[in-house]
Amino acid sequence: MRRKGRKKGNKIKKSFNNLKKAFYYARQQKKELILFFIFNLIFCFLGTIAPLLTAKELIALTDGLLIQLLEIALAVLVVEISLNFGRYFSRKYAQIFTREILKKIQLDMAREILRIETSELDKKSSGVFIDRLVKDTSRISDIFLDVTIQTTELFAEVGILIAIFVVSRLFFLYYIIFILIIFFLEKKRVHKFNELDKHYRKSAEATTGFVGELVRGIRDIKVLNAGDSFMAEMNERIIKINEERYEMSQVTRKYSLFVGSVRDLLDFILILLAIYAIKNKLISVANFVIIYMYKGRVFNLLHLFGNFMEWFKDFNLSCSRVFEIIDDTTFKKENFGTEHLNKVKGDFEFKDVYFGYNENKMVLKGVNFKVKHNQTISFVGKSGSGKSTIFSLLARLYPITKGQILIDGHDINELDQETIRGNISIITQNPYIFNMSIRENLTIVKNDLTENEMIKACKLACLHDFIMSLPEGYDTLVGEGGLTLSGGQKQRLAIARAFVQKTQIILFDEATSALDNETQENIQKAIHNLKDHYTVLIIAHRLSTVIDSDQILLVENGKITATGTHEELLESNNTYKNLYNKELKN
């Protein structure tokens, strides 16, 4: 019992926190909110007197008071037109208010997604982020819109209750009982619906992730002839999601059936009560006409209660899912230090570094090495030995488990994000090229890039001549819907990006796939252009690349087992000698 109470207390605390966080955004749009409330108050005030006038119209009509009827009709006309204006302006400001909130939440969320620890990203499906960024934030802003619009409507309907109270206490009591019965039924419905909605959103985000994978991997799926298995999986997911959606709508349908019938019954009781009250002179016919005119508004009030409960639960669920990402609780964020270096020279040191993607399996088991700035260092070793992991740790994509990484003598954990990421570029085997023009792919890392700087970077990356051979040159669109770049061209564009970024440290993961001789030569030339000006670390898959490196590190099973120049290692290390001989034979 006590545990249940504590659970409920926690839930209330969480809801309150969600509201507080959401209102942080609402507060920033104070102007629109105030304008909205002013127009909505006018709207609500007029909305309360409109039915009163309509009732008077009816009474004047039945009493044959035609002049009075005309006067009231004119007043109704003025009130109704003003109501339309009130509605127009209040909705307009409500819309601007929620649009701005949506924009701010989505931007904050996108920024926070970029800060999430890579290890968290490895574990989660992309759907978790896509659905929350797109669907849940939209739900929050939609509910804000509904709530702002309907809050004043709710006040107006409460005004109706006061009017009923003034006209007849008996019917007021009747309506209150009526409201309470429907309110409890609605509460049950909303609770059931919300529980199902929680599961539904989890399944939906998993499906979004799956669809993302399907789209990204479409070429491989075709080649692997795996279309049928993917279709079977898709079918299963669609069936599951549809079933969950159906369950949710079933809840609404069943309750509508029940609540609708209860309402009809209460409606019938209203007439019985009217017969009794009129017969016993507890109310005049004219006053009952007014009460009867308000019936629709009381129904509307109930409808609003139901909506508010539903929105509150939905709002709470959406906020929890969104703030889980914006806050630092569920999704761990990257933690950088505060030390800032204006210029990094490019000295590195790994001191007895241990690291594992999961705690019980170490991938790096005591890595030690030192790199002097402007040196070119190559890492060689079997696939899976931990070379790429070393690069990821240098770029602080993962925090290390044990040991120390030093950049220019400073512990990587003490340095701020700008110092690390602003001074290191990684050129991966298959670099991510954005679906933009070549120019935009370069300006994305430097907004104020000049034409000369851009051309110089592409020349150094041995890419300029190729770009100039394209009909639209630097404005050629690459990626989806544009020009498809080969692996080698992508790598050279990434090298140009590193030149543009002017990072002092460049980590280069050489492509494993066989590139044609010319491309390979161009990449070699581009790397050569970096030599002695930058600290360059290369994961070499071809030993021809490493020959003129200042130092070669042999990585075996998460450790550096040998260090030296090509000649030194050929002489002293059998593993290296075997690797070299094997490649010569190929």
Three-state DSSP at 425 gives: strand
Nearer to ligand ADP, 306 or 386 (CB): 386
Nearer to ligand ADP, 168 or 389 (CB): 389
Q: Which of 533, 555, 200, 544 is nearest to 376 (CA)?
A: 533
Long-range contacts of 224-231 (CB under 8 A, 24+ apart): none
Nearer to ligand ADP, 352 or 465 (CB): 352
Minimum separation from the CB atom of position 129 to ligand ADP (A): 17
Nearer to ligand ADP, 165 or 357 (CB): 357
Structure tokens belonging to residue 575: 């593993």
* Count of chain residues binding ligand ADP (CB under 6 A): 11
Minimum separation from the CB atom of position 363 to ligand ADP (A): 4
Burial class (CB in 10 A: 0-12, 13-18, 19+), 555: buried
Minimum separation from the CB atom of position 560 to ligand ADP (A): 12
Radius of gyration (Cα) for the chain, nearest Å?
35
Within 10 A of 329 (CB to CB), how many other CB atoms are there?
A: 10
Return the residues of window 112-171 that contact ligand ADP according to CB under 6 A: 122
Nearer to ligand ADP, 86 or 386 (CB): 386
Residue 396 is a binding residue for ligand ADP (CB under 6 A): no
Cα–Cα dist 191/11, whole Å: 13
- Residue 170, sorted as left (phi over 0), alpha (psi -120 to 50) or beta, turns out to be alpha
Q: Which of 362, 353, 344, 428 is nearest to 390 (CA)?
A: 353
Cα–Cα dist 20/9, whole Å: 16
Return the residues of window 349-368 that contact ligand ADP according to CB under 6 A: 357, 363
Token pair 């997911």 in the structure block, residue: 237
Return the residues of window 372-391 that contact ligand ADP according to CB under 6 A: 381, 383-389
Nearer to ligand ADP, 397 or 494 (CB): 397
Minimum separation from the CB atom of position 134 to ligand ADP (A): 26
Minimum separation from the CB atom of position 357 to ligand ADP (A): 3
Cα–Cα dist 256/253, whole Å: 5
Minimum separation from the CB atom of position 362 to ligand ADP (A): 10
Structure tokens belonging to residue 437: 């023009």
Within 10 A of 2 (CB to CB), how many other CB atoms are there?
A: 6
Return the residues of window 171-200 that contact ligand ADP according to CB under 6 A: none
Nearer to ligand ADP, 148 or 389 (CB): 389
Nearer to ligand ADP, 128 or 496 (CB): 128
Binding mask 283-312 for ligand ADP (x = CB under 6 A): ------------------------------
| Residues lying near ligand ADP in the complex (CB under 6 A) | 122, 357, 363, 381, 383-389
